[in-house]
Every structure is written in structure tokens, then in C-alpha cells.
Amino acid sequence: YGQSKLANVLFAQELAKRTASQNVLVNVIHPGGVNTDLGRHLDESIDKALPALVAKAVKTLIKTVLEAAWWHPRDAALTQLYAAVGPSLLAAKTTGKYYHPIARANVPDVRFCQNETLQTKLWELTEQLVAEKTSAFK
């Protein structure tokens, strides 16, 4: 999961650099924890791993904690909407930035996310993989 999120940030920042002169804005969004059905199989895993009474208590605790900490989907969507159509971002032509809930600019881990070598290498790897996978369609 963490590697896919890092790849999203690296790719978006490289795309922002490559399209800077074309009036294309590219920003990275972290929606935060969103109360969806994404963890719907967690109950089954807990039931298999723990005795029934312990499993019930753990599931209740997890549900209580996560429901208090997670964003409702309508609130979580605000960050994406802000990055897409936020008047201040559009007016300032903000690109290559990272936003997390709710619509707050943040700086991702500098060691990896802002590593221009990794950004370029991921872009080149992506081009190579796309070329390989689509060569049969030419």
C-alpha cells in the first residue's frame, strides 16, 4: 500500500514538471481514512485469527475507533474537489503540491517523495512498461 502511494506522489510530481509549460495543473491527493466498505473482509480475518469472544471485542473496538477517526465519504471528497476546481489553486496555477484532508497543503516525506531521481526513474519505467504492454496493439 505504501509503495503504491509513493508511486502516486512520484508520478504526479514528475507529470507536474513535464506539463508545467502547458497550463496543466497536477496535484497529489491523500483522501485520508474514509469510512467505506474497503475493509469489509477484515471481520472474517479477525474471526479466523482469534477466539470468538476476543474477536467480537476486537471488532467492536476497531469499529468504534475507526468510525470516530475516519472521514465520511462526502467530507473526504472535499480535498479532491478543492484540488480540481479550487479557485485559489487555479488562480495561482498551483501544481506539484500534496494535499490531505481536508484540503490542506502538506509536504510528503522529503527523503522519497521529493527525490527527483526516483520521479524520473518511475516515469521512464512506466513508459517502458506501457510500450511493452501495448506493442501488440500496433
pLDDT in tens, 57-87: 998 998 888 888 899 999 999 999 999 999 9
pLDDT value at residue 128? 95
- Going by pLDDT thresholds of 50, 70 and 90, the confidence category of residue 111 is confident
Which helix (H) or strand (E) is 29 found in, with range? Answer: strand 28-29
Catalytic machinery residues? 1
How does the average pLDDT of the chain come out, rounded? 90
pTM for the whole thing? 0.75
List pLDDT tens digits, range 25-67: 999 998 888 888 877 788 889 999 999 999 999 989 988 888 8
pLDDT value at residue 28? 93
- Dump the DSSP string for 83-121: HHH-HHHHHHT--S-EEETTTEEE---HHHHT-HHHHHH
C-alpha pair distances (Å), 85 with each of 12, 39, 55: 17, 30, 44
